Chain A
Amino acid sequence: MNPLQARQLVIDVPGRPAGYPLNFTIGRGQMWGVLGPNGAGKTTLLHTLAGLRLPRQGEIFLGEQPLTALKRRAVARQMGLVFQERQDGFPASVLETALIGRHPWLAPWQMETDLDRRLAEQALQQLDVAHLSDRLVSTLSGGERQRVSIATVLTQNPDTWLLDEPTNHLDLHHQVAVMQLLRAQAAAGRAVFMCLHDLNLAARWCDHVLLLYPNGDACWGPAERMLVPAALERLYGQKLLTVEADGKPVFVPVPTTGEL
């Protein structure tokens, strides 16, 4: 696979004077978590890495080539993005939605074949939404829609997964199921890079962590080096209590004095 790489990257967050340039490679088998408070630019970073937004400075490489030199179609074969927000202007069924993941793999005039349909159905099955195949996406619950959009990227089958809050709306069981699916992807030689609002999910599942501060500062590295209480407390402006469960740290917010 061609690893995704940020070189001297400064994302363009409106109204922010500057940022610390990002230099990292999302390598084979790695599972990255991006942490930061609301408005720190997590989604902007993800969209910039996907080439959907121009950076203020720096470049993104996919393997040896800059992203901007590649055709969108070639990019889409190597990199998939699960959006946090979805707009549906027109009604579409769950199966149709998963099937568009095959788009970058088909020639313009080609119709989807039974094979494509089977891949989409398998993806839906893996996300536990196969029974909803014929339902309109607009009639699903938030968690079901979230799983359908993950199934779409699974159908797309990219080497590098970018995900914006993949556990949004998911119940605990499906949170674990999705994380296990992503870990299996990483174990199979893919790379996963996701924004998370839940610090403990990053602590549980990620081997690399990027902390994004609201003022544009950032630091990144192996999870155990990044997930230290002092850094995290500064990140969220929130006092934390650390306990250990199942061999991993769990961070619990401590109410500010004076509150209940």
Chain B
Amino acid sequence: MSRRLISPLLVLAVLSGLAMVLSVGVGSVALSPGEVMAALLGDGSDLQRTLVVELRLPRTLSAFATGGLLAVAGALMQVLLRNPLADPYVLGLSGGAAVGAMLAMVAGLGGLLVSGSAFAGALLATLMVFGLAHGTGSWTPSRLLLTGVVVAAGWGAVITLMLAISPAQQLPGMLYWLMGDVSYARAPVPGMVLLLAVCLAVIPFGRSLNVLARGPMQAAALGISVRPLEWLIYVAASLLTATAVTMAGSIGFVGLVVPHMLRLVLGNDQRLILPACALAGGTLLVLADTLARVVIAPEQLPVGVITALLGVPTFLYLLYRSR
């Protein structure tokens, strides 16, 4: 690994560390970075330790994992579709997951079954989008993107329908899936493990992804078995999205904004962009969640609102700039 790859990643890693310390420190009881570190290392008062280790840290780590997963998923889909506008939210994967979760709630299921159902929904949405776009055999990126957008609109209609006919007492829980909120996310470990695993797994594929970004024919001419690689990306992106949505509901635009900003600064070498997306996406969501907690404290905003407010102008700018 050359320095070209290492130094940006180090900078991003330091930034994410700082963001996490800030996020853990901010709240109804403010803690200084020193106090946060002390609590993490097992010192400090009982109250501080409970606050940091049991309440705030899981939420911060969940936000980090969710943001990282979504950003990497977005970056992978953009390579797959050779279109910088692709992202799990735009392609309707998040919508499918939300429908899965809401169906489980309407059926009176709870806890893990809701998560499992969201996971199934995300995978189903991916299969639908890719299956339908595949159609007569050509997997053209624009067709895939269009299919995704239309399918996403379909999920939106199903969601509205379910909201309209559901009993009132279930509405708050359902809205949580729609808005995207990490305040109930308490199990960051699976997401963090998956994020790390994917970042390590893409190392041997990084250069192949770079070549694939030049188009499938060029990639095949340069010695890549295109179809297996495309399937691999597709499965990995679905898995990442499904895990993220299961943790925190549907949070839009992280997968769009983060890879785009990083490509502007770092170029488009996937060996650098993918791990950088994991770090920067995590950092962005940790900061957005911190903001969501303090803007109208003691009330909390769903973090999805913040990312959408950032994401919509970015998406529009991208569209405006592209010919």
Contact = CB atoms under 8 A, between A and B. Distances in A.
Given A72-B224, A81-B221, A103 B211 contact: yes
B170 interface: no
A103 B205 CA distance: 11
A90 B263 contact: yes
A72 B220 contact: yes
Contact of A52 (B220, B263, B269): B220
Closest 4 CB pairs of A and B: A76-B223, A89-B82, A104-B223, A73-B223
B173 to A, nearest CB: 40
Given A89-B82, A100-B214, A108 B223 contact: no
Nearest to B269: A96
B223 A86 contact: no
B205 A108 contact: yes
A90 B82 contact: yes
B199 to A, nearest CB: 14
A156 B141 contact: no
Interface string A188-208: 000000000000000000000
A88 B322 CA distance: 12
Interface in B269-297: 269, 271
Contacts of A103: 207-208, 211, 222-224
A62 B62 CA distance: 53
A80 B217 CA distance: 12
* Size bracket, chain B contacts: 20 to 34
A89 B215 contact: yes
B321 to A, nearest CB: 12
Given A72-B224, A73-B223, A87 B203 contact: no
A47 interface: yes
A91 B268 CA distance: 7
Interface in B1-37: 1-2, 5
B225 A72 contact: yes
B83 A89 contact: yes
B50 interface: no
B210 interface: yes
A92 B268 contact: yes
A145 interface: no
Given A91-B263, A100-B214, A100-B222, 17 more contacts: A50-B221, A74-B223, A76-B221, A76-B223, A77-B223, A83-B217, A87-B82, A87-B214, A87-B215, A96-B269, A101-B222, A103-B207, A103-B223, A104-B223, A108-B205, A111-B271, A156-B222
A82 B38 CA distance: 61
A170 interface: no
B218 interface: yes
A93 B214 CA distance: 12
A258 to B, nearest CB: 43
Contacts of B222: 76, 100-101, 103-104, 156
Contacts of B217: 47, 52, 83
Interface string B236-280: 000000000000000000000000000100011101000000000
B84 interface: yes
Nearest to A90: B268
Instruction: Please indicate which of the listed interface residues A50, A76, A77, A93 has the most CB atoms of chain B within 10 Å of its own CB.
Output: A76
B108 interface: no
B77 to A, nearest CB: 12
A106 interface: yes
Contacts of B218: 83, 86
A117 B269 CA distance: 15
A106 B218 CA distance: 17
B284 to A, nearest CB: 21
Interface in A219-237: none
B135 interface: no
Contacts of A86: 215, 218
A177 interface: no
A117 B141 CA distance: 31
Interface string A49-60: 011100000000
B213 interface: yes
Nearest to A79: B221
Contacts of B210: 100
B307 to A, nearest CB: 23
Contacts of A87: 82, 214-215
Contacts of B141: 89
Contacts of A93: 267
B172 interface: no
A187 B66 CA distance: 58
Nearest to B5: A111
Nearest to B264: A91
A90 B224 contact: no
Interface in B72-93: 82-84
B298 interface: no
Contact of B221 (A52, A92, A106): A52
A91 B213 CA distance: 10
A75 interface: yes
Interface string A26-64: 000000000000000000000100111000000000000
B111 interface: no
A111 B206 CA distance: 10
A89 B1 contact: no
